[in-house]
Amino acid sequence: MLDRRTFLGAGTAATLGLAAPKVKAARTMAEAESVGVRRYVPLGNTGLNISDISFGSSRSADPELVRHALARGITYFDTAESYRFGASEEAMGEGLKGDRDKVVLASKTKARASARADDIMQTLEESLQRLKTDYLDIYFLHSVNDLDRMQNEEWALFTERAKEQGKIRFRGMSGHGSQLSPCVAYALDHELADVILVAFNFGQDPDFLDRLRTTFHFVDLQQSLPAQLQRAKDNGVGVIAMKTLMGARVNDMQPFEKPGGTFAQAAFRWVLSTGKADALVVSMTDVDQIDEYLGGSGDTKMTDADMELLERYVSLQTDQYCRHGCDACDGACPDGVQIAEVLRTRMYEVDYRDPFMARADYAQLAIRAESCLTCAHQACAAACPYGLEIPILTRDAAVRLG
Ligand code: SF4
Ligand code: SF4
């Protein structure tokens, strides 16, 4: 098993002529050489080939980390204008300097339904500048959860112009909200995406949940999503999965991990074994973690031990985890608190241990959880079909992030 608390030598980085990343502890050469991407996959019909486990940057802005990922064989790098207020793009541009043409580079913008093509082009130009490049391989409409944004004709116009001008090669959509499945369907129906980037993890799989149904009371989420992903694949649209760790409370699982696989590796194997996604992207925040994550590369079969770990994870998290794509408590608060969004930002603080991202996202919510601090009626108390104690959790979010 790759120990996430140990680290490897920097041999591969030196071979590629890259700056050596931070070295925290020695590992044997044999172990070091076993670390790296073991499978590259075609991304739909784009003609692009990418590492099956790839670099997400929502929680980092560190050129050294980018170089380490590159040295380990990662070839798909994913960022967004909004990540760390542009600092992630800047770090990625710095980290990929001299190696830009060896990788597939993607960024995203949250263009609104009313956005004009010229304004979106300006946003793209700014991303290109931060990324120190003159083109992106993929440009995503970011975090789509309503059809209005997909239906904005200015987005389609912009992407056509940007392609003609050589500023983007492919266009895509990304999403993780409750309306993800219909948004994917719309994008496929209208040929608006060459690639889709979607939240997809074992906790969303009706077949996986069926195994646990006798023990837990699950409500399947977005049952149509796997079928939409299959349709995307059948249509030659590239599919990349994200949010694959179902909340990413990886530290809770350390006592149960055995040689041969960590929880994260098991979760990745689940995604890659479904055949519904070409590859996955995951936020990478330190070099140890990159090496541990890449221990899951190349495997497309689940083991019994993997299943045990995932089932245990679900059992531990079931009354804590606010499901991606669920909005069943929508409207339960008379004060309009955006419960699912508030709990998502709390997850960034508590589970991801990323107070920067948590506070930045919380601050952007239209209606935050301040009223939970003094709420007497707690009208939301029974609104979660999974048993989450919403008033306690939203109050906690207000205290932590307000
Ligand atoms: S609190 Fe419960 S009902 Fe509300 S979004 Fe989260 S999982 Fe769904
Ligand atoms: S605790 Fe009260 S204010 Fe907070 S979400 Fe629930 S109903 Fe709304």
User: Average pLDDT, whole number, for the chain?
Assistant: 86
The predicted pLDDT at position 282 comes to 96
**CA–centroid distance, residue 154 to ligand 1 (Å):** 33
Q: Which ligand is nearest to the CA of 347?
A: 1
Is 10's pLDDT higher than 60? no
380 lines ligand 1 (CB under 6 A): no
Tell me the best of 322, 333, 345 to mutate to test the pocket of ligand 2, counting ligand atoms within 8 Å of each CB and taking the most.
Answer: 333
Protein residue with least CA distance to atom 6, ligand 1:
322
Is 14's pLDDT higher than 50? no
pLDDT in tens, 256-313: 887 778 999 999 999 999 999 999 999 999 999 999 999 999 989 988 899 889 988 8
**CA–centroid distance, residue 85 to ligand 2 (Å):** 30
Q: Which of 162-166, 176-180, 289-293, 374-378 has the lowest mean pLDDT?
A: 176-180
Per the DSSP assignment, residues forming a β-bridge with 282 are 55
343 lines ligand 1 (CB under 6 A): yes
123 lines ligand 2 (CB under 6 A): no
Is 187's pLDDT higher than 80? yes
391 lines ligand 2 (CB under 6 A): yes
Mean pLDDT of 360-368: 92
The predicted pLDDT at position 216 comes to 39
329 lines ligand 1 (CB under 6 A): yes
Tell me the best of 218, 314, 317, 384 to mutate to test the pocket of ligand 1, counting ligand atoms within 8 Å of each CB and taking the most.
Answer: 384
Protein residue with least CA distance to atom 4, ligand 1:
329
CATH 3.40.50.1820 fits 11-316, yes or no: no
Is 214's pLDDT higher than 50? no
**CA–centroid distance, residue 394 to ligand 2 (Å):** 7
13 lines ligand 1 (CB under 6 A): no
pLDDT in tens, 224-250: 888 899 999 999 999 999 989 887 777
CB within 8 Å of 376: residues ≥ 6 apart? none
Domain boundaries, the chain: 11-316, 339-401
The predicted pLDDT at position 179 comes to 83
371 lines ligand 2 (CB under 6 A): yes
328 lines ligand 1 (CB under 6 A): yes
